[in-house]
Structure formats: C-alpha cells, structure tokens
Amino acid sequence: MKLSSLGVLLLAGALTGCASSGGGPPVAREEVIEAETALRGAAEAGAGERAPELYEEARIALSAARQASGDEARRRLLEARDYAAAAEAMAKAERLQREANRVRREADDLDRQAERIREETGRPPQ
C-alpha cells in the first residue's frame, strides 16, 4: 500500500508541476498556514514513525515552498499538504490496525477463559 499511495502522490505532483510555472501572484499566508497545519497534524498522528517517507516528502515540499514564489510556491504548498494528509492517514490506519489486533487478542483471551470456566463447571460449550 505504501508504494501505491506514494506512486499516486508522486504522479499527481508531477502532473501539477507540468501545469504550472514559476510566476503568478504571491502566496497568501493562509495557504502556508494550511500546509503547516497539515504537517503538524501528520506529526501528531505519528507519521514521522509510521509513514516516514510521506512525512519527509511533506517536509521537503514545505521547505521548497518557502524558498519559491508565485505558482511554484503554491504548487509546493499543495504538494506538502497532500503528502502530509497521506502520511497522517497512513499513520492513523496503522494505529487503528494495531488497536484492532489488540482487541482481537483480548477477545480470544476472553473466549479461552470462558471455555476454561465451562470445562471446570462441567457446562457444555455454547
């Protein structure tokens, strides 16, 4: 899944790059804040550990946006936001999968305990 998600994002970034050039109006501060907020959300979700490639791409794109201007800066901010969103989603999905596995193990343990109690009391399984 990592490769397919990363591939789609890279393709989208490449296509966006083909459609834009370096000129254009200055980037609004809100656009920068939106990308920074997306990166913080990814960090808080644990993307640095659970989706490091996507998280690093988001950081690189944000850094490049700060060095660029106009359409190029805007394109890099969108790229940073999209990478950060993907990294956050991947980190959350991994966390939820681990939580589901933990709950499944606990349910299995409870089933074994119930079976042991039924055996000890001589009750048939249900």
State pLDDT tens for residues 37-90: 999 999 999 999 999 999 999 999 999 999 999 999 999 999 999 999 999 999
Q: Assign 14 a pLDDT band (cuts: 50, 70, 90).
A: very low
CA 21 to chain centre: 28
Domain limits of the chain? 2-121
pLDDT digits (tens, 9 = 90+) for 89-124: 999 999 999 999 999 999 999 999 999 999 989 876
Q: Is 84 exposed, middle or buried (0-12, 13-18, 19+ CB in 10 A)?
A: buried
Average pLDDT, the chain: 86
C-alpha distances (whole Å) from 49 to each of 12, 14, 35, 46, 67 are: 24, 26, 20, 6, 26
- Convert the pLDDT of each residue in 16-41 to its tens digit: 444 444 578 888 999 999 999 999 99
pLDDT at 25: 87
